[in-house]
A and B are shown apart, each in its own frame.
Chain A
Amino acid sequence: MWSYEKRLQFPVSIKEPNAKLAQVIMSQFGGPDGELAASQRYLSQRYSSPYREVSAILTDIGTEELAHMEMISAMVHQLTKNLSMEEIEESGFDKYYVDHTIGLWPQAAGGVPFNACVFQSKGDIITDLFEDMAAEQKARTTYDNILRLVHDNDICEPIRFLREREIVHFQRFGEALRIVQDKLDSQNFYAFNPGFDQCN
């Protein structure tokens, strides 16, 4: 069950449309390390966590990722609003425009459509948490790359906020991994899947 709040987690108010940057930022919607993948990764993985605290962090970070997806979508929407046909042609946005006009559709910056294969749900909480920590770092790197391309403060501020959240999530997943490992056989953490194998 979810409920919606009619506000963004961090304000997005972009005055200058920019089709080139829209194509880049769109990657954090439907790209390999984007917010759609993040939300579906954690919200799918949580069922096979044998520990309630770890299910909690997957649920709550997964939910926050939905709010981040909404922020990125709002940015792409505002960056593509009121574009002239000349701007659409010159920026290379024409290839997206022909299929979607200026509607939101999840794809990577290079035009590759969103694909569930960009994330895993392995049914093994140790495996999943290692993936999650890597995913937070990959998203953080993507935001670093975006920040090198962006000079408009209206765009930088929400991107910096999202970048910082990746770092906090990395920390919390690290703590979750520690909780899981504390409950395993300290002689051999990795020979056992606590969500599948039976404890003796």
Chain B
Amino acid sequence: MSNMMNSEKEMLFHDIGIIDFVIVEMNLYLDTHPTDCEAMEYLKHYVRLKNQAMKEYAMKYGPLRIQDADAGNHKEWLWAMQPWPWEGEC
């Protein structure tokens, strides 16, 4: 059970990384192509996906950014208690 939970957590975390990469790429592209409306729509779609995924992650496992700290009903400050990115676990 705990293994399954772990892999679900890892999958969601992995998805957030992929979604955010699209956002970073589109952000830089739009900076130098600010009138490309098709690219802007594409970016908006991924921003919505990211917000959803970040909320879901915060609800289940604790926030990855402070703006999602309202999600879930955790009994401790998981922002400080969950592993830091350089620890290499996720």
Contacts and interface: CB of A to CB of B under 8 A. Distances in A.
B90 to A, nearest CB: 7
B28 A61 contact: yes
Contacts of B22: none
Q: How large is the interface on A (under 10, 10 to 19, 20 to 34, 35 or more residues)?
A: 20 to 34
Contact of A78 (B21, B29, B64, B86): B86
B88 A7 contact: no
Contacts of B76: none
A127 interface: no
A7 B85 contact: yes
A57 B86 contact: no
A3 to B, nearest CB: 6
Q: How large is the interface on B (under 10, 10 to 19, 20 to 34, 35 or more residues)?
A: 20 to 34
A10 B32 contact: no
Interface string B9-43: 00001101100110011011101111000000000
Contacts of A8: 85-86
Given A77-B86, A78-B88, A7 B67 contact: no
Interface in A95-149: none
Contacts of A12: 86, 88
Contacts, number: 70
A71 to B, nearest CB: 9
Interface string B61-74: 00111110000000
Contacts of B51: none
B85 to A, nearest CB: 5
A78 B87 CA distance: 7
Interface in A1-51: 3-14
A119 to B, nearest CB: 20
A3 B86 contact: no
Contact of A5 (B31, B65, B82): B65
Contact of B89 (A4, A13, A60, A168): A13
Contacts of A89: none
A13 B88 contact: yes
The 10 closest A-B pairs by CB, nearest first: A74-B86, A175-B32, A56-B31, A57-B31, A13-B88, A8-B85, A6-B64, A5-B65, A77-B86, A78-B88
Given A7-B16, A53-B31, A57-B28, 14 more contacts: A6-B79, A7-B17, A7-B64, A10-B17, A57-B31, A60-B31, A64-B28, A70-B85, A73-B86, A74-B86, A78-B86, A172-B29, A176-B31, A179-B32
